[in-house]
A = this chain, B = another copy of it.
Amino acid sequence: MRIGLDVMGGDFAPDAIIEGAVDSLQHLPADDTLVLVGDENAILRKLSEMKVEPSLFEIVPTTQVIEMGDHPAKAFSQKKDSSIAVGYVMLKSNNLDGFCSAGNTGAMLVGASYTVNVIPGVLRPALAVVLPRIDNRQSVILDVGLNPDCKPDVLLQYGILGNIFAKYVLEEENPTIGLLNIGEEETKGNSTVKTAYELMKEYPGFNFVGNVEGNSLFQKTMPDVVVCDGFVGNTILKLGESFHHIYQQRGLKDSYFDMLDFENFGGTPIVGINANVVIGHGISKRKAIMNMVIRTREVAHANLAQKIKEAI
């Protein structure tokens, strides 16, 4: 496996990114290569400061940076030697098995759509996030922000994409698929979700368990895959952030609530494109970056993109 990491992206780049890269090494198999894409001098300086041998990595030097505030499409097309643009070119030429960045999310999405492209048959790609449940297992929820307007057939397909994700990335043999709704009954919800329910119920290719409500999220009763539109999914993710923030502010200590820190989530894989790509939170520090690299390796190891291509 060759995993690429954008060293220039994120509020704390490049230092925190390089620190996270170093920490991630011990979680990667010895024959994997972690490819650091970015300013070579900055990388070498930081590694030397950390007394880490640069030969543990492959370094791909770039000269430009897409800043967090840059216009995504413009920056992506104009800054051809930026770490994000170079990462995508490497993905496209199969020179990387996976790529991740905590940088400009818009530019990462532009690269996803215009360089590696959406998998034919995928209606709309999604952002997925893996959440820890109280029973020490994991569930994936999608979409968490890419498509705030979702048609019923898109929600059905998110079930299909989520099923593949849970099977191959989370290694669940027969994942349960739930539809986020505001009641358990089939007749609940808005018109989109009601139609999606019908489609998902009839779909023979996954183990649909019906509606799931907000009070099941994070609980033992949470299905392995939760399908929702990007508006609701994004709100769920950010509300989790708010609760975790309050937990921290109040000085509470608990191993489960500690896990609910976004730094543990490993970023959000883009599901439905021709490459294994993970986007990190802009405010990612050392630990979040380490987990993002690990997640990217998981997704690349499962070869999520290929599995989806075969299934769609």
* A95 lies within 8 A of chain B by Cβ: no
* Binding stretch for chain B, among A32-40, A162-170, A243-251, A290-298: A243-251
A134 partner, pick from B218, B232, B236, B249, beta carbons under 8 A = B249
Per the CB 8 Å criterion, the residue count for chain A at the interface is: 41
* A27 lies within 8 A of chain B by Cβ: no
Q: How far is the CA of A22 from the CA of B182 in the complex (A)?
A: 33
Q: How far is the CA of A216 from the CA of B234 in the complex (A)?
A: 13
Q: How far is the CA of A139 from the CA of B256 in the complex (A)?
A: 28
Are B245 and A243 closer than 8 Å at their CB atoms? no
* A15 lies within 8 A of chain B by Cβ: no
Q: Quote the shortest CB–CB distance from A243 to chain B (angstroms).
A: 5
Are A236 and B214 closer than 8 Å at their CB atoms? yes
Provide the A279-292 mask, 1 if CB < 8 A to any CB of B, else 0: 00000000000000
Are A234 and B214 CB-contacts (below 8 A) given A148-B182, A191-B149, A219-B242?
yes
A230 partner, pick from B180, B182, B216, B236, beta carbons under 8 A = B182
Are A215 and B239 closer than 8 Å at their CB atoms? yes
Q: Quote the shortest CB–CB distance from A249 to chain B (angstroms).
A: 7
Minimum CB distance partner of A150 in chain B:
B190
A250 partner, pick from B191, B232, B241, B256, beta carbons under 8 A = B256
Q: Quote the shortest CB–CB distance from A21 to chain B (angstroms).
A: 27
Q: Which residues of B contact A188 (CB under 8 A)?
A: 148
Q: Which residues of B contact A231 (CB under 8 A)?
A: 182, 189-190, 193, 232
Q: Which residues of B contact A236 (CB under 8 A)?
A: 214, 235, 239
Minimum CB distance partner of A239 in chain B:
B214
Interface residues of A in 120-161 (CB under 8 A from B): 134, 145, 148-149
